[in-house]
Structure 1
Amino acid sequence: MKDPAEAAAEAIIGLYSRHADDWARMRDGPLNADERPHFERYAAALPEGGEVLDLGCGSGRPIAAWLIGRGFRLTGVDASPGLIARCRSAFPEHDWRVADMRGLDLGRRFDGVLAWFSAFHLTAEAQGAMAAVYARHLRPGGVLMFIGGPGRGVAMGTWLGEPLYHASQDPSEYRAGLEQAGLVDIEERFLKAGTDDPARVWTARRSVSD
């Protein structure tokens, strides 16, 4: 019999695809107070009017909407056709793709890459492989931001009565993977400053010498 956590990891795409309407309703609002400082810092590190790749973009709200409102050009990737359909309807002038972020290669580079509350639904091993995905989509000097956890392991939750899978690498593994992929200026911050919330915000930059 398959391990329940392994089964939940494999079911993530189906879960968000089935509940696209629910997810869109839950996130249909502004950036919350904990997210905003990280995105203000991220946006300040990008060139004016820069191009951003949003991996696991969901319905485009609130993250893509916030960035678009500040003049950035978005390319969004999500494995849920229903969520991508909402992005295309709300922001037709931007580029939206139905695809799995694992092994992704769009054949182009961006000023910024995001994986905000998305890559942490992958297994720790798959998250390790994401460093190469991030790096190959960043221009020299481009900025990465993603969410990880506090230490290597699996954290199971529930959403709408179904198992919800999260995992994390150890911080040393995240850092080593990013360094190996050619990323520099690596920083780890608490999502919620001054709390013991497990979510961590990682940022890094592709070396300008690449």
Structure 2
Amino acid sequence: MKKGNSKNVFEVYNKIADCFAENRYQGLMEKKYLDELITHLDARSEVLDLGCGTGIPILGYLRNQNLNVTGVDASDKILALAKKNFPSTLFIQSDMRHLSLNKKFDAIIAWHSFFHLPAEDQPAMFATFEAHLNPNGILLFTSGTTHGEAWGSIGGEDLFHGSLSTREYQDLLTAHDFSVLKHQINDPDCGNANVWMAKYTPVFKTV
């Protein structure tokens, strides 16, 4: 039985921040997905990097494409490193489950962050995504493929991952007015990531 923190994984990241920063792959295996995301955006579009970590490499790459990126992470230790890496970027400490920025973005990225939430906490996040996206905004996130949990390890700490099933994600996206643009399962060129890209296309109902 794993003894790690499954409810607040950011507390684990507070313990392993330096180790994570030193060992996080510095390459950009995510580039093809980020580049596809960028094709849906205009210059100076507003992007929310949800679970931004230290900002390397994803946030840094998006900044280099002249996008306005806001980083959010629940770990204060991780954010301290991110602020050192990108001192001119706006970073906000927040648990994504309680996010309420009173601002809308043209894209939201939750790459290898959303999947640290327990499965029971994930459905509510789709209303949060919806509330923070402009119409035709893009949501890019990674997930598992089956409902359940898995554990990894970093810096001697157990690291929790949760997932819904593929069908559950599809149903949640549809219920919140997202149309799937891409769904890649176990991409061998991207660390076997399961990637979703969807466009927010709200249906405006008249009374």
In the superposition, the TM-score normalised over structure 1's length comes to 0.89
Aligned equivalent of 1:23 = 20
Inter-partner Cα distance in structure 1 for 2:59 and 2:191: 27
How far the C-alpha of 1:200 sits from its partner, in A, is 0.8
Aligned equivalent of 1:166 = 161
Instruction: State whether structure 2 residue 206 is matched by structure 1 residue 206.
Output: no
SS of 1:113's partner is strand
Gaps of 5+ in 2: none
Inter-partner Cα distance in structure 2 for 1:28 and 1:69: 18
Inter-partner Cα distance in structure 2 for 1:68 and 1:196: 23
2:177 and 2:202 in contact (8 A); partners too = no
Bigger shift: residues 13-22 or 111-120: 13-22
1:77 and 1:99 in contact (8 A); partners too = yes
> Map of 1:6-155 to 2, 5 A cutoff?
8-27=5-24, 29-32=26-29, 35-155=30-150
> Map of 1:188-203 to 2, 5 A cutoff?
188-193=183-188, 197=192, 199-203=193-197
SS of 2:18's partner is helix
1:77-128 residue CA offsets vs partner (Å, 9 max, x unmatched): 1011121122222222221001100031111100000100001011111111
Gaps of 5+ in 1: none
Bigger shift: residues 22-31 or 45-54: 22-31
Inter-partner Cα distance in structure 2 for 1:194 and 1:97: 31
Q: Percent identity?
A: 34
Aligned CA-pair RMSD: 2.1
Aligned equivalent of 2:177 = 182
2:50 and 2:73 in contact (8 A); partners too = yes
User: What amino acid maps onto 1:202 in structure 2?
Assistant: W
How far the C-alpha of 1:195 sits from its partner, in A, is 9.6
In the superposition, the TM-score normalised over structure 2's length comes to 0.90
1:27 and 1:62 in contact (8 A); partners too = no
SS of 1:132's partner is helix
2:20 and 2:155 in contact (8 A); partners too = no
Q: Which runs of 4+ in 1 moved over 4 A?
A: 193-196
1:159-189 residue CA offsets vs partner (Å, 9 max, x unmatched): 2222111111011111111111221235311
